[in-house]
Structure 1
Amino acid sequence: MSSQQNWSGFAERLALRVNFDLMTILEVDWESNLVRRSFSTDEKNYPSGGVKRLMGSTWATQVIFDGQPFRSQTSVEFRCAFSDYKTLEALDLFYALNVPCQEWGRTVRIINLLRGVSAFPEQAIDAILQREALRR
């Protein structure tokens, strides 16, 4: 797993290119069938250490299993993807961009960005992937 300090620096550098209000990192544990939040820019509301079971949702199929980014462009897409959408919306977060990072052909982590104003542009995916490559 990556250190908190490395992810903090990554978040600072990424913020220069992509506007976001919350960034979290989920590490995929294939053996335990879990995802663990290893980093958050909002430790109060979305602290590191949170664990979720991999779910059979459309979101999980797209992002975790197929390794394809997810970008919500409407409130319906946002709400369908996140069971905790009420908590997120209470924090004024209405749009998400989830970018999986793969090693050896499977997703090992997901970089999650959320914000309150306007959907993320398609170019944000490339900015995240470029920054992730530079981080290593």
Structure 2
Amino acid sequence: MTDYFAAITAFDAAIGQAAGADQAFAALQRLAEATVGVKLFTFMTVDMENEVARRAYTSDPANYPTSGTKPIRYDSWFDIVHKERQYFVANTIADIAKVFPDYELIDSLGCQSVVNMPVEIGGELVGTVNMLHDDGYYTPERVDLIREVLAVPAKLAAVLARG
């Protein structure tokens, strides 16, 4: 059984000492690993004025580096995450392939399920927390746990990362 109190206490200590985006998002990653479970963890920032997203943090810099930006794609994923501010959940590689062109790389890393959690601050979508794991991993119960345990810490990490 997961000790949520210990996980939150560890996050609190780490975020209290965090100096910048890498340390803030690393603390959030450790909280996600300890409570929900995650194989690949990233945080993408959103710049709607310039219509680009940027990977601000990654648990796998070899395959998903933080350099550069990519254009915002206006598709069903955008509608769910950006417009509706809802979590995007896909629990098979086939469903991931419908919205992520890099699905083959995702699959090669042993990840066949994903949750993209929008992070909103002051009415603005500032980014997404992206968690990937095994096929079928992100059950409705785990997605509810993400809402309960990670939503507020993600906002705190994003605020600290923004400076």
TM-score for both structures, normalised by structure 1? 0.89
For 1:39 and 1:45, how far apart are their aligned partners in 2?
12
For 2:155 and 2:130, how far apart are their aligned partners in 1?
16
For 1:133 and 1:106, how far apart are their aligned partners in 2?
11
Give the counterpart letter for 1:85 in structure 2: Y
1:36-75, aligned counterparts within 5 Å? 36-75=54-93
1:122 aligns with 2:143: yes
> In the alignment, is the contact (CA less than 8 A) between 1:26 and 1:39 conserved in 2?
yes
SS of match in other structure, 1:16 = helix
Cα distance change of structure 1 residues 123 and 74 upon mapping to structure 2, 3 Å threshold: same
Structure with more helix by fraction: 2
Give the counterpart letter for 2:21 in structure 1: S
Q: Which is greater in Rg?
A: 2
> Which stretches in structure 1 are left out of the alignment for 5+ residues?
none
Among candidates 91, 97, 107, match of residue 79 of structure 1? 97
Deviations 1:47-83 (CA, angstroms, capped at 9, x unpaired): 1124111111101111123211101123332111211
For 1:90 and 1:118, how far apart are their aligned partners in 2?
16
The size of the alignment, in residue pairs, is: 135
> Which stretches in structure 2 are left out of the alignment for 5+ residues?
1-19
SS of match in other structure, 2:37 = coil
For 1:67 and 1:58, how far apart are their aligned partners in 2?
12
Moved over 3 A (4+): 133-136
RMSD of equivalent CA atoms: 1.7
For 1:91 and 1:109, how far apart are their aligned partners in 2?
23
Post-superposition shift, 1:23? 0.4
> In the alignment, is the contact (CA less than 8 A) between 1:26 and 1:110 conserved in 2?
yes
For 1:43 and 1:89, how far apart are their aligned partners in 2?
17
For 1:128 and 1:46, how far apart are their aligned partners in 2?
22
Number of the residue aligned with 1:131: 153
TM-score for both structures, normalised by structure 2? 0.75
For 2:94 and 2:135, how far apart are their aligned partners in 1?
15
Give the counterpart letter for 2:95 in structure 1: E
